Structure 1
Amino acid sequence: MNIVTSYRDNQAAIRNPVGSEAVGGTEGPSVLEQYLRIARRWRWVIAGAIAGCFLIGLVITLLTTPQYTADATIEISRESDQVTNFKGVEREASVTDQEFYQTQYGLLKSRTLAERVATELRLVDDPKFFEMFGVADQDVPAYKISNGHYPAQGRAQRQRDAGQILLDRVGIDPTRLSRLVDIRFTSPDAGFSAKVVNAWAENFIKTNLERKIQATSYGRNVLQRQLAEYKNRLDESQRQMVAYASKEQIIDLPTQTNANGSTTGDRSIVVDNLAALNTALNQATTERIAAESRYRRAGGDGASPEALGNTAINNLRQRRAELAAQYQQLMVRFEPEYPQAKAIKSQIDALDRSITREESRVSGSLQSDYRQALMREQELENRVKALKGDYLDLRRRSIQYNIYKQEVDTNRALYDGLLQRFKEIGVAAGVGVNNVSIVDTADIPEKPSSPRLLLNLLISIVVGIALGSGAALALEQLDEAIADPAEVERRLGLPLLGSVPRTSNDQTPRQALLDRKSELVDAYIAIQTNLRFTTEHGVPRSFSVTSTRPAEGKSTTSIALATVLARAGKRVILIDGDMRSPSVHHWGGVGHERGVSNFLAGEEDISKLTFEIADLGLTAMTAGPIPPNAAELLTGNRLSILIERLLETYDHVIVDSPPVMGLADAPLIASRVEGVVYAVESHGIRSSQVKTALNRLAAANVHIFGGVLTKFEARKAHYGYGYEYGYGYGRDDRDAKSA
């Protein structure tokens, strides 16, 4: 892309300069460079903020009352030691540990604990305590001292205030990943701080224990009411069971312990009788079978076991055997009629009768025993049958009885369980186990914890830096001045033709122009070079130089451009178009009695209206007499005729135009020339004003070649080191050589 094309693109941006961006895509500075530039530009604001904050921090630190901080360490266990085998109703802690400890930290900062500490240390009625913290106000009835004491009516309010004072100055700092908690308190009195911290820890332990006791007492009261209720239920169920048993004649024997140590429940008397009778029946049956067996074995031959075992029968048989033996001996020698043999025979017969009689008696006894055993067995069978009927009837009548009995057993079990729980709660309440203990008590601090001079000063400096930086950024945002050449394109949308440095105080612009080695001459030579690329035929043959308001350097720019063009061998004429405040005639040391206004009024002889500025090598035309209304003279075509006639003689016609704002002259002049060179004062005018002026020119279809940044100071620029290098490069070397 050539320069002319770039120039045409820039003109499109000029027609709508407000909000437009620089054309050309020049890469901007980095964020760090921008912040450094802002810091350099507003360094005194930042330094003032730092110094002010430093002084304020120093004064506040020196005037602040020393504060002393005492601290104590306590341990909070999750579970207390198990002295009894009693288990509470709370579930085992697992994921709820954090909730438990957060609850404990909240209790350490509770208002009730603070008021309790204040009451224990007798701070509620201590005027020195409230004066120490600046709370005592005689206008408040609760703090109105009478006879050296506070009134009793305001004690509740003082207690709340004292607790709040302690709460505001106490700190609870749990140690991470541990059960330790630090309690800190800060006050102007070191001993008081230690006293409050120790009292705080001790009262927390006491309140923790009291809460457990209260919870236990509440549990005891609840269980006591439940015990009374279940005792009534048990008594009522027992009465129902006994009344029903009496009505239905159900008799249960008490519980007994078996031989193996186990116990049996209540049993009915019918069951016991049936069992006893059944046992007796079995025994009677056995005896009857044995008697019947003996009776069946007994016969008429006397060979029954009972007969054989009978002593009398055996004695009789033995006597008979002896007599029979004697009788057989006699029969060997004598006849049966032998008297002795006969006598022995009669004895044998008598013995046989006796044996028969004894055998009959034994046989009758066995029969009698059999009959008795049979009768007893039958009697027992009848009684067992009767008891079975009674037992079945008892079973039927015992259904409701068992229901009552089960209810009695259930109520008794509940009552016994509650009674055992009640006893265990009483034991736990008497033990008084606490899960909070003091690890380190608070010692009286020897050094104040605040104010800390070095820390406060460091904080003051940091705050000063922050405030100064914020102020610098705010001022930078509010500042609309054009700080460096890059902003001419970025803020205004104007192509930058060049920047002109501010002349030193000991050198006038005329002297700088006469010094061909000056930075001012170098700057305008660069601007003239850039003007060569604004049109297809090089430097515009006719153009005006204007600005937003007066004293921005437009007249100096006009004369300087005319000078450098004249030194380049061009024939140049400078016209003072500012007929309201002319200045060009001062450069030639002449008056402005004749000039542009004369020609615009109808005079034709141009040669009488011009004068030479010999030292600068150019011709100039003054503004002429100041007309009543310069704008009316410029509305005609006389200015166009003047420029056309001058271009017949001169290579370039430069018009020093009046400023744009508030006047119609500048747009009228600009419409008669090829274009405008716009002068913008560095750090002297707001960019919004320049945009408004450019909009006026754009509305008149004025062709703007570009902007010239005047009175530029590199040290105030955003990136001044680059521009300063460009203007000053080789200057010292040439000055040294010339010297």
Structure 2
Amino acid sequence: MNVLTSNLGAGVSMAVPPADQTASSANQLPPIRQYLRMAFRRRYVILGAIAAMFLLGIVGTLLMTPKYTATATIEIARESSQVTNFQGVERETGLADQEFYQTQYGLLRSRSLSERVAAQLRLIDDPSFYALFRIDRKDSAFQLVNGRYPAAGRDVRQRVAGEILRGNLSVAPARLSRLVEVRFTSPDPAFSAKVANAWAESYIQINLERKIQATSYGRNLLRRQLAQQKEQLDESQRQLVAYASRERIINLPGQRGADGSTSERSIVADDLGTLNSALAQATAERIAAEARYRETGAGASTEALRNPAINTLRQRRAELRAEYQRLMTQFEPSYPAAQAVQSQIDQLDRSISTEERRATGSLEADYRSAVERERVLQVRVEQLKGSYLDLRRRSIQYNIFQQEVDTNRALYEGLLQRFKEIGVAGGVGVNNIAVVDQADVPQRPSSPRLLINLALSLIAGTVIGVGLAFALERMDEAIADPTEVEQRLGLPLLGSVPKVEGETPKDALLDRKSDLVDAYLAIQTNLAFTTEHGVPRSFAVTSTRPAEGKSTTALALATTLARGQRKVILVDGDMRSPSVHHLGGVDHARGLSNFLAGEDQIETLTFDMADLGFTAMSAGPIPPNAAELLTGNRLSTLIERLLESYDHVVIDSPPVMGLADAPLIASRVEGVVYAVESHGIRSTLVKTALGRLVSANARIFGGVLTKFEARRAHYGYGYEYGYGYGRDKAAQAKQSRA
């Protein structure tokens, strides 16, 4: 047996990982695996929902009224949608295409079009039309009087008829084309075709009428705008002329520009330009005269040198001077002929001086005249500058009025041009919508479709089933399989125990090849790794509530330890509902309560369980309050004394919830083995019980999942592999009978 235990221990050395590590590994499972496991666990719910929806789909399909769909195909063109040829009425094609076609689809589904079709086909007052669609209203508009509907409720019936037609109509544009299918569905195939064709024709008529209305409306609107703009133009022109007359602003027409427009120029500006040119010329003449005048002071002036009279006198004087010099070579200056020549030379000098003075005076006069003319022109130019600046100041308001006149004239001319272009003939006769295919009477019903309905039923059933499974999984707090002990409770898993059916736990323990024995041997092996000295010498087995398998766990662990050649005593610590004495075939007249009450003879309080190989102590007489007996030190004394004679002390503890016994017992032993019933208790309740034990400073070695059924687990058959490994079931059954 020791060899067997050691081999089991070597095989599962990592069977008890830390709680946080185990929970983390469980949470790290791929989501698809978690969903598949959930679906496998709730497979009957999912299959039931699918089957129910499948049957509902079959029944619904058989009970549905056959309906027929007629289809008319129309073409909606984009190019002919402009009212006129000038720009600005509607945006260019391109980005506006999608908006345009979406608008057309909306018009095809419009209320006015549906009511127009109803009126055109005379459906508003037709009782068979409402009977065809099973419309049974009790208001006065649908009350027959002499087999007819009253005229007073026609508006109500028209609205209802339009709603019926719109509810059974669908518009399906063909992708990447200008074709649109108009489909109408009803129980009558001929009626469906008639409505689809009437719908297409009415849509074309409405489109033409809308163009005519748009053209007429545009003409009337432009006519009113033209009249208003003409009044504004006349008023602005009168205002401009009045202001020009009042401010004496006179402008002359200028040259015509490249764009055909003419600009105006003022008289003051023209005068200023002319005088400014004259002033520049006068300044130039004054500078020239001044230069000639200044030359007279520096010697013979240029004017004197160019004077013919002075040049003649100087030539005559030069001749006389030559004559005088010749005479001087022969005679004295007093010689009469020489004196006569000298007298002529002096007379010529006086004449030359007189002529030079006359030329110099003429230059001075010309200079002064040029200066005066320049001054006069300068004064006039300055006066015109002031007048021009004053004109500019007064022309600010004039220009404002002029701009208003130009703006009003441009607006008026633009409106006039549009008014000339727009016309009734511009839109009428050019329709951008045409019927491509008329709707034929359908030969086969479009609905119901059995295969499609069944497929939808299967999809709906799958969705509903998965939703129900997911909801049930979220609401299910029971511990379904061993990994949830670690994942939900944070407890190290010591092992799982299969549910025993058809025999008592004691009988299953007596069969050393039973699945129960194998399970508890694995638990004992894992328990050996919880302390440094192997299996704890003293430990308690408890659970959250009664009937979870804690007593069976305590009994099985005591049995497996005893078969490992160890002295074991099983103490029934549940003094409220004792059970160990039943297994030994004795009563509980003497037991644990006697020792806790003060009796010291332990040997008289125990009994042997020879078939299982260990000693047991019953709970003893049931005390009035078991918790009071456990509060003292007597339990610790009992455990110490028992450990002197036994290798292990196993205490079958009461359940935790509602009692103080389990925390008191747990605080006196090395630790606690916690039993959790599979599919039998909510995880939140177990967490609360574990919290009570932790508050009592109890050490919890791990959890044991009891009454485990692999077929009900989230992970399917995986957990039942091992318990029956390598066994011949027939031989096992034969050995059990023997």
Relative to the length of structure 2, the TM-score reads: 0.70
Following superposition of structure 1 onto structure 2, how do residues 137-536 of structure 1 map, counting pairs within 5 Å?
137-138=137-138, 140-222=139-221, 425-428=423-426, 432-503=429-500, 505-536=501-532
Q: Return closer, same or farther for 1:21/1:118 CA change in 2, 3 Å cut-off.
A: farther
Q: Return closer, same or farther for 1:8/1:725 CA change in 2, 3 Å cut-off.
A: closer
SS of equivalent residue, structure 1 residue 721? helix
Instruction: Please say if residues 483 and 682 of structure 1, whose CA atoms lie closer than 8 Å, have aligned partners that are also in contact.
Output: yes
What's the counterpart of residue 77 of structure 1? 77
What's the counterpart of residue 62 of structure 1? 62
Q: Does 1:586 align with 2:582?
A: yes
Instruction: Please say if residues 496 and 707 of structure 1, whose CA atoms lie closer than 8 Å, have aligned partners that are also in contact.
Output: yes
Q: Return closer, same or farther for 1:546/1:127 CA change in 2, 3 Å cut-off.
A: same
Q: Does 1:694 align with 2:693?
A: no
Shift of 1:64: 1.6
Shift of 1:115: 0.7
2:234 & 2:566 partners in 1: Cα distance? 135
What's the counterpart of residue 549 of structure 2? 553
What's the counterpart of residue 280 of structure 2? none
Structure 2 counterpart of 1:114, which letter? S
Moved more, 85-94 or 514-523: 85-94
What's the counterpart of residue 621 of structure 1? 617
Instruction: Please say if residues 76 and 181 of structure 1, whose CA atoms lie closer than 8 Å, have aligned partners that are also in contact.
Output: yes
Q: Does 1:607 align with 2:606?
A: no
Structure 2 counterpart of 1:631, which letter? A
Shift of 1:109: 1.1
1:487-520 Cα deviation digits (max 9, x unpaired): 21221111111111111x2222111101101111
What's the counterpart of residue 268 of structure 2? none
1:462 & 1:416 partners in 2: Cα distance? 64
1:629 & 1:423 partners in 2: Cα distance? 111
1:606-649 Cα deviation digits (max 9, x unpaired): 11111111111111111111111111111111111211221111
Instruction: Please say if residues 15 and 494 of structure 2, whose CA atoms lie closer than 8 Å, have aligned partners that are also in contact.
Output: no
What's the counterpart of residue 35 of structure 2? 35
2:610 & 2:414 partners in 1: Cα distance? 132
1:493 & 1:86 partners in 2: Cα distance? 81
Q: Does 1:647 align with 2:643?
A: yes
SS of equivalent residue, structure 1 residue 590? coil
SS of equivalent residue, structure 1 residue 646? helix
Q: Which runs of 5+ in 1 are unaligned?
A: 14-19, 237-406
2:415 & 2:595 partners in 1: Cα distance? 128
2:429 & 2:199 partners in 1: Cα distance? 20
1:509 & 1:416 partners in 2: Cα distance? 107
Instruction: Please say if residues 484 and 720 of structure 1, whose CA atoms lie closer than 8 Å, have aligned partners that are also in contact.
Output: no
What's the counterpart of residue 705 of structure 2? 709
1:174-227 Cα deviation digits (max 9, x unpaired): 111111110011111111111111000000111111111112222444566678
Instruction: Please say if residues 86 and 425 of structure 1, whose CA atoms lie closer than 8 Å, have aligned partners that are also in contact.
Output: no
Q: Does 1:658 align with 2:657?
A: no
What's the counterpart of residue 113 of structure 2? 113
1:702 & 1:516 partners in 2: Cα distance? 33
Q: Return closer, same or farther for 1:416/1:670 CA change in 2, 3 Å cut-off.
A: closer
SS of equivalent residue, structure 1 residue 117? helix
Moved more, 210-219 or 447-456: 210-219
1:568 & 1:9 partners in 2: Cα distance? 25
SS of equivalent residue, structure 2 residue 615? strand
1:29 & 1:630 partners in 2: Cα distance? 46
1:548 & 1:511 partners in 2: Cα distance? 25
What's the counterpart of residue 127 of structure 2? 127
Q: Return closer, same or farther for 1:32/1:728 CA change in 2, 3 Å cut-off.
A: farther
Shift of 1:113: 0.7
2:148 & 2:687 partners in 1: Cα distance? 76
Shift of 1:704: 1.3
1:544 & 1:625 partners in 2: Cα distance? 20
Pairs aligned (count): 554
Q: Return closer, same or farther for 1:224/1:696 CA change in 2, 3 Å cut-off.
A: closer
Instruction: Please say if residues 230 and 415 of structure 1, whose CA atoms lie closer than 8 Å, have aligned partners that are also in contact.
Output: no
Q: Return closer, same or farther for 1:82/1:634 CA change in 2, 3 Å cut-off.
A: closer
Q: Return closer, same or farther for 1:668/1:34 CA change in 2, 3 Å cut-off.
A: same
Instruction: Please say if residues 667 and 697 of structure 2, whose CA atoms lie closer than 8 Å, have aligned partners that are also in contact.
Output: yes
Q: Which runs of 5+ in 2 are unaligned?
A: 1-9, 236-404
1:622 & 1:234 partners in 2: Cα distance? 121
2:179 & 2:22 partners in 1: Cα distance? 65
Structure 2 counterpart of 1:215, which letter? A
Name the % identity: 67
What's the counterpart of residue 100 of structure 2? 100
Shift of 1:543: 0.9
What's the Cα RMSD here?
3.4
1:130 & 1:31 partners in 2: Cα distance? 54
Q: Return closer, same or farther for 1:720/1:145 CA change in 2, 3 Å cut-off.
A: closer
1:27 & 1:227 partners in 2: Cα distance? 80
Structure 2 counterpart of 1:460, which letter? S
Structure 2 counterpart of 1:727, which letter? Y
Q: Return closer, same or farther for 1:187/1:691 CA change in 2, 3 Å cut-off.
A: same
SS of equivalent residue, structure 1 residue 731? coil
Q: Return closer, same or farther for 1:216/1:633 CA change in 2, 3 Å cut-off.
A: same
SS of equivalent residue, structure 2 residue 705? strand
Q: Which has the larger radius of gyration?
A: 1
2:660 & 2:417 partners in 1: Cα distance? 110
SS of equivalent residue, structure 2 residue 172? strand
Instruction: Please say if residues 173 and 183 of structure 1, whose CA atoms lie closer than 8 Å, have aligned partners that are also in contact.
Output: yes
1:347-381 Cα deviation digits (max 9, x unpaired): xxxxxxxxxxxxxxxxxxxxxxxxxxxxxxxxxxx
Structure 2 counterpart of 1:470, which letter? G
Q: Return closer, same or farther for 1:643/1:95 CA change in 2, 3 Å cut-off.
A: closer
1:72-125 Cα deviation digits (max 9, x unpaired): 000111123999989994454343222221221111111111110000000111
Structure 2 counterpart of 1:74, which letter? I
Instruction: Please say if residues 562 and 572 of structure 1, whose CA atoms lie closer than 8 Å, have aligned partners that are also in contact.
Output: yes
2:538 is matched with which residue: 539, 542, 559?
542
Q: Does 1:52 align with 2:48?
A: no
2:595 & 2:664 partners in 1: Cα distance? 16
